[in-house]
């Protein structure tokens, strides 16, 4: 990346005044680390903010919101920087970067973790596993806890422990007016943060409920030949229906990685993969996972007892920073014949080996939550299908985006989308992510906490002006 001067600058005197009161640091376009500070995980978003403010605490957060408002600049909020639509950066505005705020306090007696919102999942997994505790986290450990949790949170413990939002017990938030609020004083705000994204303020800490997990889980991936995909998808659904809550699986229609456990001849070829994590009694591990590992003769099978922290990082190498990436998703009630045929055809037509289709199994603890209890309200669907469309650079990126949009439109034209699995966050996407009554309640909360839509770089719920 090269650094051109931004078209909009905050005055030097203003920034000097602002910096004087800051515990963290302002990174400006003229600073040598500006390119690193402005970059996010998704290489498709090459933006040049007027400044990146690395906040060291709540006071910095309050002042940064004030700076953006007084200068009339856009405000992008960044935790782990994994926003697929690129909401955690912007041109010419202020990036409020929380990545210095990585404190975690685990209370093993109360089974709670209080987490500052610059943490990524590897931070939380390491700290909580010290006590053989965990909460549903991301499949890739560099993902930010904050953005992930505020959208819902689907991971390897979804069926055992619920979504991450189902374990969100409290939060502290700095509002658009720079005021500190706690969800203890407003349960409705807690409800909104449980799936309503970054619409209501900057969350500075999250309280998450922890569960007994580990230190080892039984987890891995089984690889099958692509020509058996149709039968495998049908049989996979049958097994999902009777799987115990302690087992969470996903099915990938993908290309085999170049890895030692994959036979040389199969590397780079289309394969069906079933990944799973059993977090229950180790003695039952073989029995509960075997049905998923014998749907067809396997090419490779990596299931084994392994450390939970290690398993949480197992996919990291496949998701490096800097590629161009787009997500498109739909909830599905079932893998009916039409859906299976559509998915199998798409697998045969994958545009490149970086692009894949993931079917996440839901249900279990996540499926038993009352839809009105959290802003993440889609509880009656058994799967989320997510198309991860990637290219090494800009060449061909528009084509893979279109391919993934077309696939989801064919598969499930009217299905709701999952806000964490969208590459755009358009008004239409956001509306279809929530049932109408949930959306209406989110608008009311937005009207109360952010009537000027200061927090609009997100899967936005615009406020409705009543005058």
Ligand X SMILES: Cc1cc2nc3c(=O)[nH]c(=O)nc-3n(C[C@H](O)[C@H](O)[C@H](O)COP(=O)(O)OP(=O)(O)OC[C@H]3O[C@@H](n4cnc5c(N)ncnc54)[C@H](O)[C@@H]3O)c2cc1C
Give the residues lining the site for ligand X (CB under 6 A). 40-41, 77-84, 87-88, 98, 117, 138-140, 143-144, 146-148, 150-155, 197-198, 202-203, 319, 420, 457-458
Residue 384 CB, nearest distance to ligand X (Å)?
A: 9
Distance of CA 291 to the CA centre of its chain: 29
Helix H, strand E, coil C: the string for 357-417 is: EEEEECCHHHHHCCCCCCCCCCCCCCEEEEEEEEECCCCCHHHHHHHHHHHHHHHCCCCCC
Length of the chain: 467
274 versus 340: smaller Cβ distance to ligand X: 274
Q: Indicate the residue among 64 and 420 with the shorter CB distance to ligand X.
A: 420
Q: Diameter of the chain by CA atoms? A: 68
Q: Please identify, using beta-carbon distances, which residue of 140 and 344 lies nearer to ligand X.
A: 140
Name the burial class of residue 305, with classes exposed (0-12), middle (13-18) and buried (19+) by CB atoms within 10 angstroms of its CB. Answer: middle
Q: Least distance (Å) from ligand X to the CB of residue 118? A: 8
Pairing of strands 216-225, 298-301: antiparallel
Rounded least distance, CB 139 to ligand X, Å = 4
CB of 148 to ligand X, least distance (A): 4
- Report the DSSP beta bridge partners of residue 274: 222, 251
The neighbouring-strand residues paired with 115 are 104, 206
Main-chain dihedrals φ then ψ at residue 328, nearest 5 degrees: -140, 130
Tell me which residue has tokens 């690889």: 223
What value does the CA radius of gyration of the chain take, rounded to a whole number of Å? 22
Considering beta carbons, is residue 80 or 275 the nearer one to ligand X?
80
- How many whole angstroms separate alpha carbon 285 and alpha carbon 295? 17
Q: Output the six-digit token pair for 153.
A: 């949170």
Closest CB to ligand X among residues 202, 262: 202
Closer by beta carbon to ligand X, 34 or else 200 = 200
Q: In the bound complex, what is the minimum distance in angstroms from residue 298's beta carbon to ligand X? A: 24
CB 205 to ligand X: min, Å? 9
* Least separation in angstroms between CB 45 and ligand X: 10
Task: Count CA within 13 A, CB hemisphere, residue 360.
Answer: 26
d(CA 156, CA 275): 9
Q: What would the two tokens of residue 188 be?
A: 């409705």
Q: What would the two tokens of residue 388 be?
A: 């991860």
Nearer to ligand X among residue 175 and residue 255 (C-beta): 175
Please state the closest distance from residue 297 (CB atom) to ligand X, in A: 29
Q: For ligand X, which is the closer residue by CB, 18 or 327?
A: 327
């Amino acid at each position: 990346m090269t650094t051109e001067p931004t078209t909009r600058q905050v005055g030097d005197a203003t920034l000097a005044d602002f910096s004087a009161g800051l515990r963290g640091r302002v990174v400006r376009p003229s600073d040598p680390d500006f390119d690193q500070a402005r970059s996010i995980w998704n290489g498709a978003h090459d933006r040049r903010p007027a400044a990146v403010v690395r906040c060291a605490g709540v006071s910095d957060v309050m002042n940064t919101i004030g700076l953006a408002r007084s200068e009339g600049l856009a405000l992008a909020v960044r935790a782990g920087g994994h926003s697929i639509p690129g909401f955690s950066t912007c041109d010419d505005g202020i990036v409020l970067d929380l990545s210095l705020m990585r404190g975690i306090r685990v209370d093993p007696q109360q089974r709670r973790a209080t987490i500052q919102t610059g943490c990524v999942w590897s931070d939380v997994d390491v700290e909580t596993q010290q006590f053989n505790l965990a909460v549903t986290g991301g499949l890739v450990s560099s993902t930010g806890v904050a953005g992930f949790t505020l959208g819902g949170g689907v991971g390897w413990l979804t069926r055992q422990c619920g979504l991450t939002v189902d374990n969100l017990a409290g939060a502290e938030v700095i509002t658009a007016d720079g005021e500190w609020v706690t969800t203890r004083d407003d349960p409705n705000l807690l409800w909104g943060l449980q799936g309503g994204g970054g619409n209501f303020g900057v969350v500075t800490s999250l309280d998450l409920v922890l569960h007994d997990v580990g230190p080892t889980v039984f987890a891995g991936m089984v690889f099958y030949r692509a020509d058996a995909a149709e039968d495998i998808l049908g049989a996979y659904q049958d097994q999902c229906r009777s799987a115990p809550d302690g087992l969470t699986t996903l099915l990938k229609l993908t290309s085999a990685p170049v890895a030692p456990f994959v036979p040389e001849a199969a590397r780079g070829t289309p394969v069906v993969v079933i990944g799973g994590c059993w977090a229950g009694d180790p003695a039952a591990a073989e029995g509960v996972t075997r049905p998923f590992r014998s749907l067809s003769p396997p090419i490779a099978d990596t299931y084994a007892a392994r450390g939970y922290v290690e398993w949480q990082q197992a996919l990291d190498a496949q998701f490096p920073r800097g590629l161009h990436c787009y997500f498109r998703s739909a909830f599905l009630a079932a893998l009916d014949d039409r859906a299976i045929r559509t998915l199998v055809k798409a697998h045969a037509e994958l545009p490149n080996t970086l692009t894949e289709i993931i079917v996440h199994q839901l249900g279990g603890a996540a499926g038993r939550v009352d839809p009105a209890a959290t802003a993440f309200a889609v509880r009656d669907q058994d799967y989320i299908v997510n198309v991860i469309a990637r290219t090494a650079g800009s060449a061909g990126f528009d084509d893979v985006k279109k391919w993934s949009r077309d696939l989801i439109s064919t598969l499930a034209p009217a299905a709701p989308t999952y806000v964490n699995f969208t590459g755009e966050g358009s008004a239409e996407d956001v509306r279809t992510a929530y049932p109408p009554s949930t959306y209406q309640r989110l608008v009311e909360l937005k009207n109360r906490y952010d009537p000027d839509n200061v927090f609009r770089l997100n899967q936005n719920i615009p406020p409705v002006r009543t005058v």
